[in-house]
Amino acid sequence: MNIWESFRVSLRALLANKMRSILTMLGIIIGVGSVIAMVGIASGATANIMEQVQSLGSNMLIVMPGATTTGGARGAAGSMNSLTMTDLEKLEAAAQTPNSPLKAIAPVSSLSVQIVNAAGNTQTTMTGTTPAYADIRNITVEIGRFITQEDIDAGSRVAVIGPSVVENLTGNAQTNLLGQTIKLNNVPFMVIGITESKGSSGMTNNDDIVIVPLSTAQIRMIGNKYLRSIFVEADAADHMTEAQEEITSILLKAHKIGVGGTADFSVTNQADVLSTIQTITRTMTMMLGGIAGISLLVGGIGIMNIMLVSVTERTREIGIRKAIGAKRRDILLQFLAEAVVLCIIGGGIGILLGAGGSALLGKALDVATKVSAFAVLIAVAFSAFIGIVFGVFPAKKAADLDPIEALRYE
């Protein structure tokens, strides 16, 4: 008897006992389904996070001041007033030199402000910066314009605001506030632009922003010329490290910090952040997949359990088959094929349920899900593998039955 015939015989046996077959498959269905759903959700969430991190600006480095130390107590990173306009000018000068890995520089002076207009009021962080900021942070102005060098030179009281600010002020993100006056900490500003919605990434709402010219922020609002941070864009993804080194060396020299001294600033690499997130999400995917994998294992044990019962129940059938000429191999193949067929059909149903489940769960949790061909392949291969592993023992038991004993079995 060839393998094809074995599969036909086992399929017939499974059809003859539909209820038991379905119950046996349930374990595999749930196992495979949860692997597909879990991995689908995890990889969808990963893709989601990555996309948002990328949208904040690619090839980006962030220079932050160091932490203050007051009486031995170290303050938060960035609390020091160590980044100056001179630092900014030096970095901008470096960016102008040919072959520099630095492409664009945008300073940030920020302040928490209360925004008031005729319709309402809200609170957010005001960012004072230069035109380069829009490119580096991937900000697009939907209506109106971004701040210009003229605004900075003149110290104009103009502001570009995000749709969340519009919504918080007026209750409707679609309200056109262009040309109207808003008050930031009681200082009147004219709205010159509203940015395109970018959504939120993690805890940060990228639409809850107020951008004003750097000079206006420093002179009128904050009252000093220190910078909160400097955003630097590298000219290529593989120049990130070089860019980081160049910034560090320029600033160390500017701050007169020698070898062995402690830098009073830090340079964060966007690529590092990305790879950290990737590591975290990969771990999350593996963990979810692992948990689901355990349920697949339990499903496999369920198959073995039922197959063992089935062998006992069908002892007489095995005896008959052996008496009329079935070899050990024929019986082994028949029962093995039964287990594999159960697992493959169960796996197939599991894939469909898993894909549907992850899509549904994704909708409920509002995350994009992605059922990868890889996860499907792994699930199918694993369920066939489980069928063989957990089918071998019952099949061997059946094949080794003595025909005389088996025929006498009631």
Partner 1 sequence: MIKLDGIKKVYKTGDIEVLALSGIQLHVAEGEFVSIMGPSGSGKSTMMNILGCLDKPTGGTYFLDGIDTSKASNNELANIRNRKIGFVFQGFNLLKRTSALENVELPMLYAGVAAKERRKRALAALESVGLADRVHHKPNELSGGQQQRVAIARALVGQPAMILADEPTGNLDSRSSEEVMAIFQRLHAQGNTIVVVTHEPEIAEHTWRIVRFKDGHIAQDELVAEPRMARAHVPDEEGA
Supply the DSSP symbol for 257: -
Half-sphere exposure of 409 (CA within 13 A, CB side): 17
Contact 124, 209 (CB under 8 A): yes
User: Cα(163)–Cα(210) distance, rounded to whole angstroms?
Assistant: 10
Phi then psi for residue 171, to 5 deg, are 85, 0
User: Cα(68)–Cα(78) distance, rounded to whole angstroms?
Assistant: 8
User: Cα(253)–Cα(90) distance, rounded to whole angstroms?
Assistant: 10
Nearer Cβ to partner 1 (203/324): 324
| Least Å from the CB of residue 29 to partner 1 | 24
Nearer Cβ to partner 1 (282/328): 328
Amino acid at 269: N
Helix boundaries (H) for 17-147:
18-55, 85-96, 132-136
| Least Å from the CB of residue 330 to partner 1 | 6
**Token pair for residue 390?**
């957990």
Nearer Cβ to partner 1 (196/400): 400
Nearer Cβ to partner 1 (63/342): 342
| Least Å from the CB of residue 337 to partner 1 | 14
Task: Give residues with Cβ within 8 angstroms of 42, minimum separation 6.
Answer: 281, 284, 285, 288, 289
Q: How far is CA 391 from CA 147, 218, 311, 329, in A?
A: 70, 74, 11, 14
Nearer Cβ to partner 1 (336/386): 336
| Least Å from the CB of residue 386 to partner 1 | 27
Question: What does the binding site for partner 1 look like in residue numbers (CB under 8 A)?
Answer: 1-2, 5, 9, 12, 16, 316-317, 319-330, 403-404, 407
Nearer Cβ to partner 1 (238/313): 313
Helix boundaries (H) for 205-314:
214-216, 240-254, 270-313
| Least Å from the CB of residue 339 to partner 1 | 19
3-class secondary-structure state, position 234: strand
| Least Å from the CB of residue 28 to partner 1 | 24
Phi then psi for residue 110, to 5 deg, are -130, 160
Number of H helices, E strands in the chain: 13, 14
Half-sphere exposure of 218 (CA within 13 A, CB side): 19
| Least Å from the CB of residue 342 to partner 1 | 18
| Least Å from the CB of residue 22 to partner 1 | 17
User: Cα(344)–Cα(385) distance, rounded to whole angstroms?
Assistant: 10
- The DSSP secondary structure of 154-204, one letter per residue, reads HT--EEEE-HHHHHHHHS-TT---TT-EEEETTEEEEEEEEEPP--EETTE
Q: Which residue in 310, 319, 386 sits closest to 29, CA to CA?
A: 386
User: Cα(358)–Cα(122) distance, rounded to whole angstroms?
Assistant: 38
| Least Å from the CB of residue 388 to partner 1 | 22
Nearer Cβ to partner 1 (282/316): 316
Nearer Cβ to partner 1 (280/323): 323
Contact 74, 213 (CB under 8 A): no
Nearer Cβ to partner 1 (298/323): 323
Nearer Cβ to partner 1 (12/74): 12
| Least Å from the CB of residue 331 to partner 1 | 10
Nearer Cβ to partner 1 (1/297): 1
| Least Å from the CB of residue 14 to partner 1 | 11
